[in-house]
Amino acid sequence: MDARTGAAILTAIRRACPGMRVGVTTGAWVVSEPSERLELIRSWTVPPDFASVNLSEADAAEVCEALLARGIGIEPGLGAVEDARLLVASGLAPRAERLLVEVDGAGDAEQLELAAAIDAVLDGAGVAVPRFHHGSGRPTWAVLARAFDTGHHVRVGLEDTLVLADGSTARGNGELVAAAVALARGHGREPSH
- Three-state DSSP at 186 gives helix
CATH assignment of 3-137, among 3.40.50.1970, 2.30.40.10, 3.40.718.10, 3.20.20.70: 3.20.20.70
In a 10 Å sphere around its CB, with 0-12 CB exposed, 13-18 middle and 19+ buried, how is residue 169 labelled?
Answer: exposed
Q: Check residue 50 and give its pLDDT.
A: 97
Kind plus residue range of the DSSP H or E element containing 147: helix 140-150
Q: What is the tally of helices (H) and strands (E) in the chain?
A: 7, 6
Chain segment 63-103, per-residue pLDDT in tens: 999 999 999 999 999 999 999 999 999 999 999 999 999 99
- Three-state DSSP at 30 gives coil
Beta strands in the chain (DSSP E): 23-25, 50-54, 73-78, 99-102, 131-134, 153-154
Q: Check residue 8 and give its pLDDT.
A: 97
Q: Check residue 193 and give its pLDDT.
A: 64
pTM of the model: 0.93
Q: Check residue 102 and give its pLDDT.
A: 96
* Domain definitions of the chain by residue range: 3-137
Residue ranges of the chain with per-residue pLDDT less than 70 = 193
Q: How many CA atoms lie within 13 A of 36 on its CB side?
A: 9
Please list, in sequence order, all residues whose beta carbon lies within 8 angstroms of the beta carbon of residue 82, skipping any fewer than 6 positions away.
Answer: 56
Please list, in sequence order, all residues whose beta carbon lies within 8 angstroms of the beta carbon of residue 105, skipping any fewer than 6 positions away.
Answer: 111, 113, 114, 136, 139
Q: Check residue 180 and give its pLDDT.
A: 96
Q: Do 41 and 26 contact (CB within 8 A), yes or no? A: yes
Q: Check residue 58 and give its pLDDT.
A: 86
